């Protein structure tokens, strides 16, 4: 099964809608709640990042009986130093984003924690692609 989502970068209120839909579909497919929660959290963190840093983007989700593979692509500013961005507590989020409860520098560490495989490719000025794999 393949799902595609467009994430609007201007609507912080709507951020998480795609993750919410994927969660619902996985539940209907009978995937265990522990696995669903890991997928939902990793995807939600990535979706939020897409909204707060890159003005939205596109998400493709592939669901097979063995795994869920999520690709989030944006054309935002890119990440200059991925190793640094992976460190807990490191964040470049604005004060506005912090007031909304995010930007604590836990987004990428949380994605890594909850996915079986996390791949981030990024080019400054061109954008970032995040690939999340969780085995069912």
Partner 1 sequence: MKLSEVKEILDAEVLVGEHNLDREVYLACGSDLMSDVLAFVKDKVLLLTGLVNPQVIRTAEMMDIKAIVFVRGKKPSEEILKLAEEKDMIILTTKYPLYISCGLLYSKGLTGQESKQEGGHET
Q: Which residues bind partner 1 (CB under 8 A)?
A: 12-13, 15-16, 19-20, 23, 33, 37-38, 40-41, 44-45, 48, 100-107, 109-110, 113-114
Cβ proximity to partner 1, 98 vs 126, nearer residue: 98
Smallest distance from partner 1 to CB 20, Å: 6
Euclidean distance between CA atoms 124 and 13, whole angstroms: 27
Q: Write out the E strands in 1-136.
A: 2-8, 56-63, 67-74, 117-123, 127-135
Smallest distance from partner 1 to CB 95, Å: 14
Tokens of 15: 């951020």
Cβ proximity to partner 1, 27 vs 126, nearer residue: 27
Cβ proximity to partner 1, 5 vs 102, nearer residue: 102
Cβ proximity to partner 1, 69 vs 90, nearer residue: 90
Max CA separation in the chain (angstroms): 42
Q: How far apart are the first and last CA of the chain?
A: 14
Sign, CA dihedral 60-128-11-86, equals: positive
């Amino acid at each position: 099964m393949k799902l595609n989502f467009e994430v609007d970068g201007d609507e912080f209120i709507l951020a998480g809608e795609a993750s919410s839909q994927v969660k619902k579909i996985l539940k209907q497919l009978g995937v265990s709640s522990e696995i669903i929660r890991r997928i939902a959290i990793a995807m939600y963190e990535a979706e939020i990042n897409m909204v707060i840093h890159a003005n939205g983007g596109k998400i493709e989700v592939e669901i097979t009986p063995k795994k869920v593979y999520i690709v989030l692509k944006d054309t935002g500013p890119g990440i200059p130093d991925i190793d640094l961005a992976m460190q807990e507590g490191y964040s470049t989020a604005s004060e506005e984003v912090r007031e909304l409860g995010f930007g604590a520098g836990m987004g990428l560490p949380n994605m890594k924690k909850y996915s079986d495989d996390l791949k981030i490719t990024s080019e400054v000025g061109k954008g970032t692609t995040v690939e999340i794999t969780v085995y069912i």
